[in-house]
Amino acid sequence: MRLGAGFYDRSVHDVARDLVGCVVRHGETAGRIVETESYHQEEPACHAFAGVTARTRTLYGPPGRAYVYFSYGMHSLLNAVAEPEGVGAAVLIRALEPVDGIDLMRQRRGLDAPEALCSGPGKLTQALGIDLGLNGTSLVLGPVEILERERRPRIVTGERVGITKATDLPWRFCDADSRHVSRPFPAAMRARRAA
C-alpha cells in the first residue's frame, strides 16, 4: 500500500529511518530502499538552508512531494519532502535493492550487476527513469510511488556522504544487511563485515 501524506508530515529524521525497507516504484521498475539521508533547513548541507528560491520552493511545500534536482550537471536525485509545509526538509533516497523491472534497469544503466544498478542516488534515478520533470509531483498520488515496507530492516546510522558541509551529522540510515548500500559503507557496517 502507498504511504499517505501523514507519513511524511513529521520529523525528517524519523521519515528517513522509516523509509528504509519501503519500495519505490516508477512505471515498470521498482526497488526496496536500503539507504537514505535526511536534510533540514537548519544545517548548511540542505538546499533549503539558503531560504526559499525557485530551486528550493518544492522543499518548503507540502510533505509527501518529490523533490528532484540535478546534481553536478549530470544526475537527477530523488528526495521525499518531509515535515509540515513551510519547513524546508527532505529525505534523499540514496540506494535501492532492485525488485522489479530489472531487465529495463539494466538497459537504462548499461550494466548487468544487480548490486551496481541502484547503489547510489544518481544510479537509482537512471535505473527507474526518474528525471527533473517529476520535481514537485505527489508521492501520495503521482507517478512515483513509495509503498509500505513488509518488514522492518536492521538499520545502522552514519555520517552523510558526498557533501562538504555539516559532514559530522549522523543522518545517514542504511539497511545493515544489504549488499546494495552505496560506498563508502557506514563505519558500523564496515566493522561488522570485517569481523
Give the chain's domain count.
Answer: 1
Instruction: Write the pLDDT tens digit of every residue in 19-76.
Output: 999 999 999 999 999 999 999 999 999 999 999 988 899 999 999 999 999 886 678 9
149 pLDDT exceeds 90?
Answer: yes
Least confident of 53-57, 155-159, 186-190: 186-190
Q: Which CATH number belongs to the domain containing residue 87 in this structure?
A: 3.10.300.10
| CB 29, CB 21: distance < 8 Å | no
pTM of the shown model: 0.94
For 28, the domain range is: 5-194
Neighbours of 137 (CB within 10 A): 17
Residue 91 has pLDDT above 70, yes or no: yes
Which is it for the CA torsion 62, 64, 65, 71, positive or negative? positive
In Å, how far are 8, 24, 122 from 79, measured between CA atoms? 12, 11, 11
- On average, the pLDDT of the chain sits at 93
Mean pLDDT, residues 137-153 taken together: 96
% of the chain surpassing 90 pLDDT: 82
Cβ atoms 23, 147 nearer than 8 A: yes
- Phi-psi group of 118: left, alpha or beta (phi > 0 → left; psi -120 to 50 → alpha; rest → beta): alpha
Residue 190 has pLDDT above 60, yes or no: no
Confidence of residue 191 (pLDDT cuts 50, 70, 90): low
Q: Which residues pair with 29 in a beta bridge?
A: 26
